[in-house]
Amino acid sequence: MKKITLLILFFTITIIYTNSYSQSAVYFCNKTGAVGFAYGYSYNEVIEMGKEACIEFGGQNPQLVVATQNKGYGAIVLGKDENGSLVVGAAVGISKYQDAVDEAFKACNNLGARDANLEKTWHDK
């Protein structure tokens, strides 16, 4: 019984540790067009780090585009709408690379993007 309890405890700790560092967050500043993202840290850390990254790239008022507590692929797509304003589409925590790219393009296109381009992808294992 003691061995089973230890095994359960070990697997529980492993699952908590693995999941606690499998988050992603993407920020965008529509005033300056700056994008910032973070992945592979705890949820609270990626929320803060993504915002800080957006500010470092010139963001004045970063807004959270998307965040997740799931592992997976992430993608960021940028395009311009009919007024020439930069728009961003992002997908995070997706199980397949192509699905993440497709979802990011769909999100960007839903905001009126024309000639959108894939800017960044990652895999948060």
> Mind listing the pLDDT tens digit for each residue in 82-102?
999 999 999 999 999 999 999
Instruction: Report pTM.
Output: 0.81
Given a cut of 60, is residue 21 above it in pLDDT?
no
Q: How confident is the model at residue 37 (pLDDT cuts 50, 70, 90)?
A: very high
Q: Is 63 helix (H, G, I), strand (E, B) or coil?
A: strand
Q: Pairing relation of β-strands 63-68 and 35-41?
A: unpaired
> Mind listing the pLDDT tens digit for each residue in 43-65?
999 999 999 999 999 999 999 99
Please list, in sequence order, all residues whose beta carbon lies within 8 angstroms of the beta carbon of residue 69, skipping any fewer than 6 positions away. Answer: 19, 22, 23, 43, 93
